[in-house]
Amino acid sequence: MSSGSDPITVLVVGSGGREHALALAIDQDPAVAAVHVAPGNPGTASFATNHRVDILDGTAVAALAAELGVDLVVIGPEAPLVAGVADAVRGRGIACFGPSAAAARLEGSKAFAKRVMADAGVPTARSRVATAPAQAAAALDEFGAPYVVKADGLAAGKGVVVTDDRRTALDHAAECGRVVIEEYLDGPEASLFVITDGTTAVPLPPAQDFKRVGDGDEGPNTGGMGSYTPLPWLPAGTVEQVMAEVVEPTLARMRTLGTPFAGLLYVGLALTEAGPRVVEFNARFGDPETEAILPRLRTGLGALLHAAATGALADRGAPEVSAEACVGVVLAARGYPGSPVKGCVIGLPPAPDGVHVIHAGTALDDRGRLVSAGGRVLVVVATGADIADARERAYAHIARIDFTDGFARSDIASQARLDAIAARLG
Ligand code: AMP
Ligand code: GLY
- CA atoms of 231 and 123, how far apart (whole Å): 21
User: CB-based burial of residue 50 (10 Å sphere; 0-12 exposed, 13-18 middle, 19+ buried)?
Assistant: middle
Over 70: is that where the pLDDT of 316 sits? yes
User: What letter would DSSP give residue 1?
Assistant: -
CA of 160 to the centre of ligand 1 (A): 7
> Ligand 2 centroid to 286 CA: how many Å?
4
Confidence grade of residue 2 (pLDDT, cut at 50, 70, 90)? very low
DSSP 308-334: HHTT-GGGS-PPPB-S-EEEEEEEEET
Please tell me the distance between residue 149's alpha carbon and the centre of ligand 1 in angstroms: 9
CA distances from 112 to 35, 128, 254, 406 (A): 35, 12, 11, 38
Predicted local distance difference test score (pLDDT) of residue 132: 87
pLDDT in the model for residue 426: 79
| Cα 179 to ligand 1 centroid, rounded to whole Å | 13
- Choosing from 106, 265, 279 the residue with most ligand 1 atoms within 8 A of its CB, the one to mutate for a pocket test is 279
**Rounded to 5, what percent of the chain is helix, strand, coil?**
35, 30, 40
Ligand nearest to the CA of 181: 1
Candidate from 154, 211, 287 with most ligand 2 atoms within 8 A of CB, to mutate = 287
Ligand 1 pocket residue status of 143, Cβ below 6 Å:
no
Q: What is the DSSP string of 85-142?
A: HHHHHHHTT-EEES--HHHHHHHH-HHHHHHHHHHHT--B--EEEE-SHHHHHHHHHH
Q: How many CB atoms are located within 10 Å of the residue 295 CB?
A: 23
Answer whether residue 153 shows pLDDT above 70: yes
Residue 155's pLDDT band (cuts 50, 70, 90): confident
**CB atoms near residue 56 (< 10 Å):** 14
Average pLDDT over the chain reads 95
Is-contact 106 265, C-beta < 8 A? yes
Q: Is 286 in the pocket of ligand 2 (CB under 6 A)?
A: yes
- C-alpha–C-alpha distance, residues 209 and 189, integer Å: 8
Q: What is the mean pLDDT of residues 233-243?
A: 97
Atom of ligand 2 nearest to the CA of 223: 2
| 285: confidence class by pLDDT, cuts 50, 70, 90 | very high
pLDDT of 338 higher than 80: yes
Alpha helices in 194-345 (DSSP H): 238-242, 248-256, 289-293, 301-309
The pLDDT value recorded for residue 154 is 84
Decide: 405 in ligand 2 pocket, CB within 6 A: no
Tell me the pTM: 0.96
Looking at per-residue confidence, does 4 or 323 come out higher? 323
Helix axes 166-176, 133-143, angle to 10 degrees: 140
Residue whose Cα lies nearest atom 4 of ligand 2: it is 286
Task: Compute the distance between CA of residue 205 and CA of residue 319 in angstroms, rounded to an integer.
Answer: 10
Please choose from 163, 280, 284, 424 the residue to mutate so as to test ligand 1's pocket, defined by most ligand atoms within 8 A of CB.
280
Give the ligand 1 atom nearest the CA of 182: 19
